Structure 1
Amino acid sequence: MKTLKNFVVAVSMAGMASLSGPLMGDVDPNLPDYERASGVSGNLSSIGSDTLNNLMTLWAEAFSQFYPNVNVQIQGAGSSTAPPALTEGTATLAPMSRGMRQSEIQEFEARFGYPPTELPVAVDMLAVFVNKDNPIEALSLPQIDAIFSATRRCGYAEGINRWGQLGLTGSWDNRDFALYSRNAVSGTYGFFKDNALCGGDFRASINEQPGSSSVVQGVSESINGIGYSGIGYSTSGVRAVPLAFDDSSEAVEPTPENASSGAYPLSRYLFIYINKHPNRDLDPVTREFIKMVYSKQGQEIVERDGFVTLPAAVSERVLQSLGIN
């Protein structure tokens, strides 16, 4: 766990640009092919992130092709549901779109005597979406904070209440915002609060949604709409706005290349947490599922679902830390 913990810190989003190998949309050709193992049967239960729900489902479908007798159940109500499910033993896999909080780790440690194991499985870009007919060209994080928050901790001089304050003219000048947000159980909500609102508080007027797809749907149905979710939930009815770290920085598109370089301000790792005893091997079902996730087939699914793949060097390092050959 110590090795993996150090590894995860080393490849945190702050240090993403230092990762060796292609952290891009293309699947690393050096990733290993997954091969079916013998003697694998039983059940897998996944409880956690809504952002990861579709990806977990696709991985489960692929896993079932290798192991038709393994039963995989998936629930995706939000990242905050993952830690208690892992701690209580109702989930084998705990996908999260944010890192576990210290209090969540402590509750797990109090039960088992060791911390949960954190596995970075893909990279996501949190997009700020507007309606497809909205002409806004770019936004900075301080502007986003001034739109969504009541506290403006990122330092913008005033609250932004109309599109005209962002330079839009004509019929847009006096239009206010229809704000769409995930709810508080969501890891996406927590990540956006910490990184786009500088830890501040959301406005009371936000429309909280239970899932990322409903955020995007709300924005697509409202000409004044603005909301955030993982880039993989983009539809033809919305547009992801290029983002800048501050008002003096260049705005960049949410592309795999910009996530890889660290140029895109709202990039993040997506995680699966598991219960791995430091002195015991993983059970065969969990071991093979994790092995498949870090294989060429597993990362091809990451790419297909709209997320950013991991390089082979990361896959190899994680699997070695788990004692998986």
Structure 2
Amino acid sequence: MTTQPHRFLALAFLALAAVRGPAAPAGLPHYQPRQQLTGDMRTVAESSADPLMLGWVEGFKKYHPHFTIIDKGTAPLACVPGVICGGYDLGFPAREIWAFEEDLFKKIRGYGSFVIQVGLGAQKTTGLTPTLAVYVNAGNPIERITLDQLDAIYSAERRRGLGQDIRTWGDLGVKGEWAGRPIKAYSHRLPNGIDYFVQKVVTKGADFKKTTVELPMRRANFGPDDLMAQAVAADANGIGLGCFGNIIPGMKAIAVADTDRGPYYTGTFEEVQGMKYPLYRPIYMVIDRAPGQPIDPRLEEFLRFVLSAEGQAIVTASNGWIALSPAVAKVELAKLH
């Protein structure tokens, strides 16, 4: 069941989208219903993303007044299992599907999940699925790093192919008194979305080194990104990953490239929306679609709306989540056929 504050935020997103007009990137297709839906369907969304989901639900209702979407906000770990067991038609974990969730999907359903990218994680807004910044101490002279180097810092396997282990700041090219200082890498206790993403994108599925310092996910009123920022600000040799919106005095974010061939990006809004910054976060919806079978018409209509100019305008109005570019939306729309 959705909460009243989430419903209020959803209506606010719709009102902003209506006042500003379609604020999504130009070139997105406008939504045109292919049929008038009746009946209902059930959706489940991660709690921080539920206001966005409800914005889509309310917007979709304008085109299908005789169709009801019953939505529930829940913990992020409940979204994918809710679809696997058939309790919900569509799940919105607002992040990547984790490896153990995909394994569970295949084990129970006999085939993999069907996912659609519907937006991007926040650039600076805290409390949402974040684009990740690489944190170092403010006194550290390093200005940039690659994913290959992060892989060699966090994982002994170095699946990205870098030829040597990285243990000191000198291994990253830092000169002078910093060259011999050991790197102290921080992560969070699993399971959590940030470190699963780092393992997927940076270490290519490899576990973190045993020397990596695990931080709790919460301490008092501080969340995981707060604790990561505090740890790096207090440790001259520290490195970690977290939201750009949690940067505090005593630490900084550095530029990132995929490999040493560059280019390096600092994580601006334009770089994130264009999916150029290497640590951008796609946000996905998941449904149960057997291979070779058409999508349920209810789900197809709803997903077409989400990927339209009208649906992406609601993303833009959410004040945090980032809308898809027309090129990416076109690719995702093609998956529905």
TM over 0.5: yes
Long gaps (5+) in structure 2:
1-22, 122-130
Query: Are residue 244 (structure 1) and residue 243 (structure 2) matched?
Result: no
- Equivalent residue, structure 2, for 1:159: 166
C-alpha distance in 1 between matches for 2:155 and 2:52: 35
Counterpart of 2:27 in structure 1: which amino acid? N
Runs of 4 or more consecutive aligned structure 1 residues displaced over 6 Å after TM superposition:
35-38, 168-173
Secondary structure of the equivalent of 1:159? coil
Query: Are residue 97 (structure 1) and residue 101 (structure 2) matched?
Result: no
- Equivalent residue, structure 1, for 2:152: 146
- How far did residue 236 of structure 1 move? 4.4
- How far did residue 260 of structure 1 move? 6.6
TM-score (norm 1): 0.65
- Equivalent residue, structure 2, for 1:281: 296
Long gaps (5+) in structure 1:
1-25, 48-52
C-alpha distance in 2 between matches for 1:132 and 1:301: 37
Secondary structure of the equivalent of 1:310? coil
Which one of 181, 204, 216 corresponds to residue 225 of structure 2?
216
Counterpart of 2:146 in structure 1: which amino acid? S
Counterpart of 1:157 in structure 2: which amino acid? Q
- How far did residue 147 of structure 1 move? 2.8
Query: Are residue 311 (structure 1) and residue 325 (structure 2) matched?
Result: yes
How do residues 1-325 of structure 1 correspond to structure 2 at under 5 angstroms?
A: 27-32=24-29, 39=38, 43-46=42-45, 54-61=48-55, 63-64=57-58, 67=61, 70-78=69-77, 81-91=78-88, 92-95=90-93, 97-99=95-97, 101=99, 103-110=103-110, 115-124=112-121, 125-130=131-136, 136-153=142-159, 154-155=161-162, 157-160=164-167, 167=174, 174=181, 177=184, 179-181=186-188, 183-204=189-210, 205-210=212-217, 214-222=223-231, 223=233, 224=235, 225-229=238-242, 234-237=245-248, 239-255=252-268, 257-258=270-271, 263-267=276-280, 269-276=282-289, 278-279=293-294, 281-283=296-298, 286=299, 289-303=302-316, 304-312=318-326, 314-315=328-329, 318-319=332-333, 322=336
- How far did residue 252 of structure 1 move? 1.8
- How far did residue 119 of structure 1 move? 0.9
Secondary structure of the equivalent of 1:46? strand
- How far did residue 317 of structure 1 move? 5.8
- How far did residue 117 of structure 1 move? 2.5
Counterpart of 2:76 in structure 1: which amino acid? A
C-alpha distance in 2 between matches for 1:288 and 1:132: 49
C-alpha distance in 2 between matches for 1:186 and 1:123: 18
CA 1:280 to 1:253, structure 2 compared with 1: closer, same or farther past 3 Å? closer
TM-score (norm 2): 0.64
C-alpha distance in 1 between matches for 2:173 and 2:245: 23
8 Å Cα contact 1:117-1:274 kept in structure 2: yes
Number of residue-to-residue matches in the alignment: 282
Percent of residue pairs identical = 22
CA 1:246 to 1:84, structure 2 compared with 1: closer, same or farther past 3 Å? same
8 Å Cα contact 1:59-1:293 kept in structure 2: no
